[in-house]
């Protein structure tokens, strides 16, 4: 029995739409959407998916000169690849793909990232096999005639307007159905904000992508890129200056111990607070970090809220090195690598720490580390290329600390700032790093067991490195900061796990300081305060040295952070922080 060709065409387009629906549902299942969804949110999404498919199909009908079969096949391929790519990407970055991440394809194709994405494949992804087979079976059931483009364009425009009118009508009906919302002004604002507005794209990117669809989101990002730097108005400039004053007022201007010459920053990949003091099978997961926590001379805070967005590790590094929050809608490094930044190395030069180095476990080009290193103000960059022994693409924590020890011996005659990044605790968590430390507790999720094993391995590597600092006489005359770049999303371990990350500061003189809930953003301000930097760039955080810690308004600081990075603020003549 032959099926009507219009029914088959509709069915094929429906499969294209189904690809995008599957993508949206999967992204929502792993990401933390910024604003709750209501019933109209789903109506918005349905209409936007239909519009996305219809626009893609229309473009390829025109490019194929009216050949429907070619157009429908290419439309399916585009939606199929876009959907599958977003599903895998979101399980690692917890976000939709953006143009800025597409431009960083070299980093996304890195072995470390690829392995994490492959490990994220799930049984539900069998959908892509089934829909592919069904599409080709249905596509062979009918011969499609070519269409006249003028007639087709009239149909396309009519359908486009039909969908848009229904989308607008859904918002009007929503307002009418809510007694407290039956005001034309509210209805107009809602439609303007939800259907035509751009603010949600900047502040609520996942929520906005779900509402706007992929095509509109990519167009908005394109406009943002083409537009270049924004011009700050008086309100924005005053808000920036007021926020900086608040951060500077939080600093107690501590008197630095005269013996302190250096700053050593150990940035651990994906370390989380719940692991500290955790005992499994009668064994401590992180015995060395536990000993630091119990040392009264070491400042410990296990309630640091991560402030990263789409950039994950690169965002964490950016926050610690600048005291500025990352962009919410695009990869921060895509903009920051071209900006003059008030990096921590530049601030430390004011107190005599002239030499600075960054030590990476990866290649220098991953996530534009070489460019970012220059913008932060580091004098030297060392990477896996500089490790003298045999190694894989990414150095293990043992190897990266060996490289750090070698440099400590060669380049420590004068005061220095060194940041060492680790990577062994990076996803995926599917193998033992320390075969001598197995966890047998059957109540613990398998992925969590491997994560805890990685934590134990890194803990031992940190212990060995700090012992080497003591042996070289660098331990007592250095402030040593041990922090985590970001959390692991609780969904990866079955849920129910706090996302707080730990902070250790050795030799920081933190008597009577605040140790409650705080932000990653506060670490930069605290370090600048601790080092008593004159005329500093204070960052946008609040000094943890201040016992009267004030839980800052992050929403305001996120706006300020984006104004700073997207404008020419750091290039202006009023800057006095260099």
The pLDDT value recorded for residue 54 is: 86
The pLDDT value recorded for residue 317 is: 97
- pLDDT grade, residue 154 (50/70/90)? low
Q: Give the least confident one: 154-158, 225-229, 281-285, 297-301.
A: 154-158
Order of strands, sheet of 416-421, starting from the edge strand that comes earlier in the sequence: 380-382, 355-359, 416-421, 262-268, 478-484, 501-506, 298-305, 518-519
Compute CA 215 distance to the chain's CA centroid, rounded to the nearest angstrom: 22
Q: Indicate the burial class of 550 (C-beta count within 10 angstroms; 0-12, 13-18, 19 or more).
A: exposed
The 10s digit of each residue's pLDDT in 310-334 is: 988 999 999 999 999 999 989 999 9
The dihedral through the CA atoms of 96, 102, 104, 106 has a sign that is positive
Percent of the chain with pLDDT over 70: 84
266 against 413, higher pLDDT: 266
d(CA 107, CA 98): 14
CB 331, CB 104: distance < 8 Å: yes
The 10s digit of each residue's pLDDT in 460-486 is: 999 999 999 999 999 999 999 999 999
Q: What is the dihedral of CA 293, 298, 300, 306, to 10 degrees?
A: -120
For helices 205-227 and 5-30, the axis angle rounded to 10 degrees is: 100
Q: What is the 3-state secondary structure (H, E, C) of 197-244?
A: CCHHHHHCHHHHHHHHHHHHHHHHHHHHHHHCCECCCHHHHHHHHHHH
Name the token pair of 114: 């690829």
The pLDDT value recorded for residue 507 is: 92
Q: Mean pLDDT throughout 70-77? A: 93
3-state class (DSSP) for residue 486: coil
Q: What is the 3-state secondary structure (H, E, C) of 296-350?
A: CCEEEEEEEECCCCCCCHHHHHHHHHHCCCCCCCCCHHHHHCCCCCCCHHHHHHH
The pLDDT value recorded for residue 145 is: 66
3-state class (DSSP) for residue 533: coil
Q: Mean pLDDT throughout 248-253? A: 90
d(CA 341, CA 337): 9
The three-point CA angle 216-222-226 to 5° equals 145
- pLDDT grade, residue 491 (50/70/90)? low
135-170: burial string, b at 16+ Cβ within 10 Å, e else? beebbeebebeebeeeebeeebeeeeeebeeebeeb
Alpha carbons within 13 angstroms on the beta-carbon side of residue 226 total 6
The pLDDT value recorded for residue 144 is: 67
The pLDDT value recorded for residue 578 is: 54
The dihedral through the CA atoms of 386, 392, 396, 399 has a sign that is negative
91 against 79, higher pLDDT: 79
The 10s digit of each residue's pLDDT in 188-219 is: 555 555 555 566 677 889 988 998 899 989 98
d(CA 393, CA 406): 20
> What residue ranges define each of the domains in the chain, with the CATH number in brackets?
5-227 (no CATH), 239-571 (3.40.720.10)
* pTM of the model as a whole: 0.89
Averaged confidence pLDDT in the chain: 86
């Amino acid at each position: 029995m032959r099926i009507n060709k219009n029914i088959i065409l509709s069915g094929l387009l429906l499969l294209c739409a189904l690809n995008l629906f599957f993508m949206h549902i999967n992204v929502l299942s792993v990401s933390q959407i910024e604003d709750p969804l209501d019933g109209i949110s789903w109506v918005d999404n349905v209409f936007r998916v239909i519009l996305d498919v219809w626009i893609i199909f229309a473009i390829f009908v025109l490019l194929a000169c009216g050949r429907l079969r070619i157009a429908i096949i290419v439309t399916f391929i585009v939606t199929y690849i876009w959907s599958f790519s977003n599903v895998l990407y979101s399980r690692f970055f917890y976000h939709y793909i953006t143009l800025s991440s597409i431009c960083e394809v070299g980093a996304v194709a890195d072995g470390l990232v690829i392995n994490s994405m492959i490990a994220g494949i799930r049984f539900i992804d069998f959908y892509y096999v089934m829909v592919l087979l069904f599409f080709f079976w249905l596509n062979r059931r009918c011969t499609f005639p070519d269409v006249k483009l003028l007639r087709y364009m009239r149909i396309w425009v009519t359908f486009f307007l039909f969908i848009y009118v229904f989308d607008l009508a859904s918002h009007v009906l929503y307002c009418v159905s809510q007694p407290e919302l039956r005001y034309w002004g509210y209805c107009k604002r809602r439609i303007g904000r939800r259907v035509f507005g751009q603010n949600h794209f900047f502040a609520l990117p996942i929520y906005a992508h779900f509402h706007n669809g992929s095509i509109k989101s990519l167009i908005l990002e394109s406009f943002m890129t083409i537009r270049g730097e924004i011009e700050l108005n008086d309100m924005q400039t005053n808000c920036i200056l007021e926020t900086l004053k608040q951060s500077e007022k939080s600093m107690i201007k501590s008197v630095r111990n005269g013996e302190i010459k250096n700053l050593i920053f150990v940035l651990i990949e994906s370390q989380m607070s719940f692991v500290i003091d955790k005992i499994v099978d009668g064994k401590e997961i992180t015995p060395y970090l536990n000993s630091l926590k119990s040392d009264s001379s070491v400042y410990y805070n296990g309630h640091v809220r991560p402030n990263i967005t789409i950039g994950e590790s690169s965002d964490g590094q950016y926050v610690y090195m600048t005291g500025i929050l990352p962009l919410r809608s695009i990869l921060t490094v895509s903009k920051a690598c071209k900006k003059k930044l008030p990096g921590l190395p530049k601030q430390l030069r004011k107190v005599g720490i002239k030499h600075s180095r960054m030590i990476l476990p990866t290649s220098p080009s991953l996530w534009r580390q070489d460019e970012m290193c220059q913008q932060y103000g580091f004098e030297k960059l060392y990477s896996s290329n500089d490790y003298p022994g045999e190694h894989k693409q990414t150095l293990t924590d043992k190897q990266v600390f060996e490289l750090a020890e070698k440099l400590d011996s060669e380049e420590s005659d004068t005061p220095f700032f060194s940041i060492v990044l680790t990577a062994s605790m990076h996803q995926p968590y599917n193998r033992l790093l320390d075969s001598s430390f197995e966890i047998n507790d059957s109540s613990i999720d398998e992925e969590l067991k491997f994560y805890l094993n990685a934590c134990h391995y890194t803990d031992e590597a940190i212990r060995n490195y700090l012992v080497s600092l003591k042996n070289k006489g660098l331990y007592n005359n250095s402030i040593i900061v041990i922090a985590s770049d970001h959390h692991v999303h609780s969904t990866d371990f079955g849920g129910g796990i706090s996302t707080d990350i730990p902070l250790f500061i050795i030799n920081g003189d933190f008597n009577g300081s605040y140790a409650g809930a705080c932000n990653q953003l506060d670490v930069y301000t605290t370090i600048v305060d601790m080092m008593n930097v004159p005329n500093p760039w204070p960052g946008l955080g609040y000094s943890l040295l201040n016992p009267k810690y004030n839980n800052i308004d992050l929403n305001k600081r996120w706006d300020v952070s984006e104004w700073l990075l997207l404008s020419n603020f750091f290039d202006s003549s009023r800057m006095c922080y260099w």
